[in-house]
Amino acid sequence: MGIFDFMTGRKKPTPGEVAKERLKVVLAHDRLKVNPELLEQIKTDLLAVISRRLEVEEQHVQVIIARDDRWDKLHADVPIKRQKISFEWDPPAYTPAANALRGDKIRVEVERLEDE
Amino acid sequence: MDSRVLTITSGKGGVGKTTTTANLGTALAMQGKKVAVVDSDIGLRNLDAVLGLENRIVYDLVDVVEGQCRLRQALIKDKRLPELYLLPAAQTRDKNAINSIQMEQLCQQLRQEFDFVLIDSPAGIEQGFRNAIVGADEIIIVANPEMASVRDADRIIGLVEAAGKPEPRLVLNRLRPEMVRRGDMMDVADVIEVLSIELIGIVPEDEMIIVAINKGEPIVYEKRSRAGSAYINAAQRIIGKEVPLEEVEEAPTLMERLRRFVGIGPSMTEKRVRS
């Protein structure tokens, strides 16, 4: 890594590395005889299951087959929608900080952020 | 009789099957082995020209299979090596002119006479390919370090396994060291990792190969050629001699090292090819 790379902390893959990564994906597909329709079905099924519990960014869901040294792997990338979670909090009595707040209920709002 | 039948195949066309067959065959014959090289690319005869024997053909593989002549009549003796013979392909027929049973019988016949039988397979995965591998003890896959070729090689590996043959081995052909060094081409280790296959030869791209084919002389005769010595080494490995795999990459130039240091060249992460 050169000193500029070191400073910016990023490394652009070389065309050789890109070819290798693309090959891994395409060979995994070839070997498993997985076609895009099948992956699309798996994606639909996964979405149905996951969205029962979580709100999912449906347009950004990705299901791919990839290959590492030992296994062909199914990778599902399922981004979760940013959501506001709010709840009432009754601070416990035994914490010193909470003593000052006794009797009041505090409204807490948390915004969940997914890395994008 | 410990005769060995090896088929050289690739899936993709134009990766160097015929050149590899001609040069491995010649190199094995130079080692004192009795060798037959067989052109099974019926309709697209080329091995004869690579060996410079195109003017001597009287009978061909299909004639032998159909009983028009005896095997010995069709075999053409090499110009230089008395122990090297060519069985040429028919030029006027197509891949369906013979079937797998006939090809297997032909291989059996050739085993009686030779230490090594090298079969040059046609491109593709159809009948011609299946005929080429049916009688083989070992399969050698030729691939170039680029996507289409490696992908096809992977397909061939699957088909060879499905045919019940032992695991094929790889000749990685037309590697361009300066491109690998720049990171513009997959290196040997990348291809081996992706295909999980045993490597038997690394042949660098070499302009002298075209000159050699133009002259009808296999490159293994050319002492200065890196491709020629790579084929000789591969032949040694086929015989079972321990020859270390070539170090393909050239040392980076001073300018490249400088550029890498300041981070505007390919990364310095160890890309040395040793596999």
Which residues in chain A are contacts of B187 at CB distance < 8 A?
Answer: 16
Task: Say whether pLDDT at B27 is over 50.
Answer: yes
Q: Please check the confidence at residue A116 and state whether its pLDDT lies above 80.
A: no
**pLDDT above 70 (res A71):** yes
pLDDT (average), residues A99-114:
58
Work out the minimum CA distance from A93 to partner chain B, whole angstroms. Answer: 57
Q: Which amino acid is at B258?
A: L
Q: Would the pLDDT of A6 be above 70? A: no
Is residue B270 helix, strand or coil? coil
Overall average pLDDT of the A23-50 stretch: 86
Q: What band does A98 get if pLDDT is binned at 50, 70 and 90?
A: low
> Mean pLDDT score of chain B, rounded to an integer?
92
- Cross-chain residue pair A2–B194, CB shorter than 8 Å: no
**Secondary structure letter of residue B68 according to DSSP:** S
Domain co-membership, A43 together with A89: no
φ and ψ at A80, to 5 degrees?
A: -100, 140
What does the mean pLDDT of chain A come to?
Answer: 76
Look at the block and give the residue holding tokens 């790889």: B170
**pLDDT tens digit sequence for B137-166:** 999 999 999 999 999 999 999 999 999 999
Give the nearest chain B residue to A30 (CA atoms). B155
Closest Cα in chain B, distance from residue A69 (Å): 7
Contact B84, B25 (CB under 8 A): yes
A103 and A59 part of one domain = no
The verdict on a CB contact (< 8 Å) between B151 and A30 is yes
Contact call for B147 and A31, based on CB within 8 A: no
Q: What is the pLDDT of residues B117-128, one digit of tens each?
A: 999 999 999 999
- Give the model's pLDDT for residue A69: 67
Q: Which residues of A touch B (CB under 8 A)?
A: 1-6, 11, 14-17, 19-20, 22-24, 26-27, 30-31, 69
Q: Are residues A10 and A47 in the same domain?
A: yes
Instruction: Find which of A21-25, A53-57, A83-87, B202-206 is predicted with most confidence, using mean pLDDT.
Output: B202-206
Of A1, A22, A24, the CB nearest to B268: A1
Chain B interface, best mutation among A10, A14, A71, by max B CB count within 10 A:
A14
In this structure, what token pair is assigned to residue B100? 């797998």
- How many CB pairs lie under 8 A apart between chains A and B? 69
Strands (E), chain B: 4-9, 35-39, 76-77, 84-87, 116-120, 138-143, 169-175, 198-204
Q: Is the pLDDT of residue B275 over 50?
A: no
Residues A62, A98, single domain; the answer is no
Q: Which chain A residues touch B186 with a CB distance below 8 Å?
A: 16, 19-20, 23
Instruction: Specify the CATH number of the domain B4-249.
Output: 3.40.50.300
Q: Does A4 sit within 8 Å of B186, measured CB to CB?
A: no
Q: What's the pLDDT score for residue B102?
A: 96
Q: Contact B132/B104 with Cβ under 8 angstroms?
A: no
pLDDT exceeds cutoff 80 at A72 = no
Q: What is the pLDDT of residue B270?
A: 43
Calculate mean pLDDT across residues A25-37.
82
Provide the domain limits for residue A57.
3-77
Residues A62 and A46: their CA atoms lie apart, in Å, by 11
**pLDDT confidence band for A45 (50 / 70 / 90):** very high
Domain-by-domain residue ranges, chain B?
4-249
* CB within 8 Å: B151 and A26: yes
Query: B44-58, pLDDT tens digit by residue?
Result: 999 999 999 999 999
Same domain, A72 and A20: yes
| A32, A57: one domain | yes
Question: Is the CB of residue B28 less than 8 Å from the CB of residue B35?
Answer: yes
pLDDT at A54: 87
Q: For the segment B168-213, what is each residue's pLDDT rounded down to a tens digit?
A: 999 999 999 999 999 999 999 999 999 999 999 999 999 999 999 9
Lowest mean pLDDT among B89-98, B105-114, B173-182: B89-98
Centre a 10 Å sphere on the Cβ of residue A23 and count the other Cβ atoms it contains: 24
pLDDT at A1: 46
Residues A61 and A87 occupy one common structural domain = no
> Is residue B42 over pLDDT 90?
yes
Least Cα separation, residue B122 to chain A (angstroms): 22
A92 & A46 share domain? no
A19 and A33 within one domain: yes
Show residues of chain A in contact with B182, CB under 8 Å: 14
pLDDT for the residue B136: 98
The whole-angstrom distance between A27's CA and the closest CA on chain B is 7
Q: Is the pLDDT of residue B30 over 70?
A: yes
Structural domain total, chain A: 2
Task: Report yes or no for ipTM above 0.90.
Answer: no
CB contact under 8 A, B187 and A16: yes
H or E element that contains A19: helix A15-32
pLDDT tens-digit series, residues B227-274: 999 999 999 999 999 999 887 766 667 777 777 677 665 544 444 444
Query: Is the per-residue pLDDT at A9 higher than 70?
Result: no
pLDDT surpasses 60 at B85: yes
Residue A63 sits in the same domain as residue A8 = yes
Are A66 and A96 found together in one domain? no
A43 and A20 together in one domain:
yes
Q: Give the distance from residue A38's alpha carbon to the nearest chain B alpha carbon, in angstroms.
A: 21
Residue A80: the pLDDT is: 87
How distant is the Cα of B125 from the closest Cα of chain A, in angstroms? 15
Q: Are strands B76-77 and B84-87 parallel, antiparallel or unpaired?
A: antiparallel
